[in-house]
Structure formats: C-alpha cells, structure tokens
Amino acid sequence: MLPWAVPIPWRSSPDAFAQILRRRGVDPAAVTDVEAAWCAFGEFLDVEVDGVDPDQDGDGFIIQWGRHSWNGGRLSLSLTRQLIVHHDPDPEDDEDGYEDDYGHDEFWQVDLTMCFDDEPDLAGLDDLEARDTGFTFDPIGPARTAALAGARADLERHPQLRAVWRATPVSSELSFDSAC
C-alpha cells in the first residue's frame, strides 16, 4: 500500500523513490537485488506526482541498458521516470520586451542506475540492437502497470537482460537531473 494519499511535489520524487527502495530493503547507493529494485520502481511509478501533466506525456518511464563512459565503462541498467514540469510565463521576468505567452517546460529524470562487472552471462549486453524500451507515458493505474509488465516481458526476450536480474550490481546511484 502506498503511504501517499495525495500527490507528491515533483521535486520530492527522488525522495519518494528512495523511501520506497529502503522500505523494500534496497539501499539506493548499494543495490544488491535487482528484482527488489524493479519492484520498488513499479511501486514508484504508481505514485502520483503534482506539477506534471500526465495527459501531455508529462509523466513516463524508460528502461535503458548498455555500457557508458559516465559509468566508468561498466555495463549498466537504468530505471528512469521522466517528469515534464510546465512553468507558466512570468511577465515580471520579461527583460527584452517580449513576453513568453506559453511559458516553458523542464524535463526531469529520477534515475536508478545499477552497474555490473563483466560476467559471462552478461556478455553482449552492450551489443544488443536495442538499448532501451522507449518512453512509455501510460497513465498511472492498470494501463501503466500493464506497460511496465510489457516492458519486462520484452526485456526477458534477451538472455543478457534476463541475466541482469540474477547479477549483483557493483555500484548503484539514485539521481535527479534535468534532462534538457
């Protein structure tokens, strides 16, 4: 059962994910159980976030894998929730005489990245044709739950990705960054 009866502020979303992870026995900075992290991610995706517009693809998720320089060249799996926050125009912030009638959007990502040592079962993970599931913006509830289950089923089609769920990460990090 979710402890949040009301939507959480979008800036609090990484704290909410960290709380869910810890409640499931997962330290965001030292994940040892990928399946438990996955279950926590699913629970986190069901938390309503205030300040985003889910009807305009303002709340979605993506799962990504591969080998990246920013992870020290290690194989990684990232569970990411993307939030698009709209800011209304501020007429007092109009320095050049042009008022932005539409405001602007900011893309934020709450991301749990788990890194792995090269293991025989993971060989070729970074060579798979696909490197992510693509973004999914289904609304919170049964549609999102089904989309997450579908993403997992797609991942299970690759032996290397199945092996990730049995592997023990050597490092992990929960981050909250502006995506653009």
pLDDT digits (tens, 9 = 90+) for 24-59: 999 999 999 999 999 999 999 999 999 897 777 899
Please tell me the distance from the alpha carbon of residue 52 to that of residue 35, in angstroms, as a whole number: 28
SS3 91: helix
Domain presence at residue 5: no
Helices 34-45 + 142-155 axis angle, to 10: 150
Domain presence at residue 1: no
Helices 13-23 + 34-45 axis angle, to 10: 130
* Range(s) of the domain holding residue 130: 13-87+102-178
Domain presence at residue 97: no
Domain presence at residue 6: no
pLDDT in tens, 137-174: 999 999 999 999 999 999 999 999 999 999 999 999 99
Domain presence at residue 142: yes
Domain presence at residue 19: yes
pTM of the model: 0.89
Domain presence at residue 21: yes
Q: Which residue has the tokens 């810890």?
A: 22
Domain presence at residue 4: no
Q: Which residues contact 6 (CB under 8 A, 6 or more apart)?
A: 48, 50
Residue 1 has pLDDT above 80, yes or no: no
Structurally, how many domains does the chain consist of?
Answer: 1
